Amino acid sequence: MNTESAGAFVSKPLAVMYLRVSTKDQAGRGGEAEGFSNPAQREACIRKADALGLQLVEEFVDADESARSANRPKLKRMLKYVEEHRLATVIVHKVDRLARNRVDDGEINLALTKAGAQLVSCTENIDETPNGMLLHGIMSSIAEFYSRNLATESRKGMLQKAKNGGTVNAVPFGHLNVHARTAEGRDMRTVALDPERAEWVPWIFERYAGGD
């Protein structure tokens, strides 16, 4: 006969974790298919589950997926899973792993609430208290600001680079990205003819124009 206390037979509340990395570099960095970011997020979620006395039953990972859109395959699957299994908790490393805009954040959290699940962050004290909900709203706004500001600064940098004569995209066939110096002595990437392939470009266009 098992002599363990009756409390030992009480099952833990069930939880799932959701992980996301937004770029191929993040997803594949570190000599592993997952890179560094996903294992770090996973370990943090496992520690959080242990601290809260939760039993993790599933994980959902979106690799190379931006949080600017909620149209992510594993996020959708996670929401469906939570709804079908009526789990207690969804654990994320940070709020911005779920969404980087307030509209999607609100819709995702509404779906979790309707399913009877609570969102838990490993790094932010968000909960159903007024203070926790306020912090969640602030972190969601910060995530959206970061995303929009990053896009703005990126476009600004690309525009300035183009104005300076640099290239912002991969060059077409027959050309090379090369380093050059501006009049002010700054290093700049620009375009030059590829000595090995440039001669093929006119031939390709001639053949295309001739219907070959």
3-class SS letters over 15-73? EEEEEECCCHHHHHCCCCCCCCHHHHHHHHHHHHHHHHCCEEEEEEEECCCCCCCCCCH
Q: Could you tell me what percent of the chain has a pLDDT over 90?
A: 30
> 204 or 163: whose pLDDT is higher?
204
* Average pLDDT of span 28-35: 42
Q: What is the pLDDT of residues 171-207, one digit of tens each?
A: 778 888 787 777 777 777 777 888 888 888 888 888 8
The answer to pTM > 0.85 is no
> 122 or 174: whose pLDDT is higher?
122
Q: What is the pLDDT of residues 97-121, one digit of tens each?
A: 888 888 888 899 999 999 999 999 9
pLDDT at position 23: 57
pLDDT at position 6: 39
Helix, coil or strand: residue 11: coil
In angstroms, rounded to a whole number, what is the distance separating the alpha carbons of residues 27 and 33?
Answer: 7
Q: How confident is the model at residue 8 (pLDDT cuts 50, 70, 90)?
A: very low
Q: Which of 33-37, 84-88, 144-148, 183-187 has the lowest mean pLDDT?
A: 33-37
pLDDT at 136 over 60: yes
Could you write out the three-class secondary structure of 167-198? CCCCCCCCEEEEEEECCCCCEEEEEEECCCCC
* Ordered structural domains, the chain, with CATH: 11-158 (3.40.50.1390), 165-209 (no CATH)
What element of type H or E holds 120? strand 118-121
Q: Could you tell me what percent of the chain has a pLDDT over 70?
A: 77
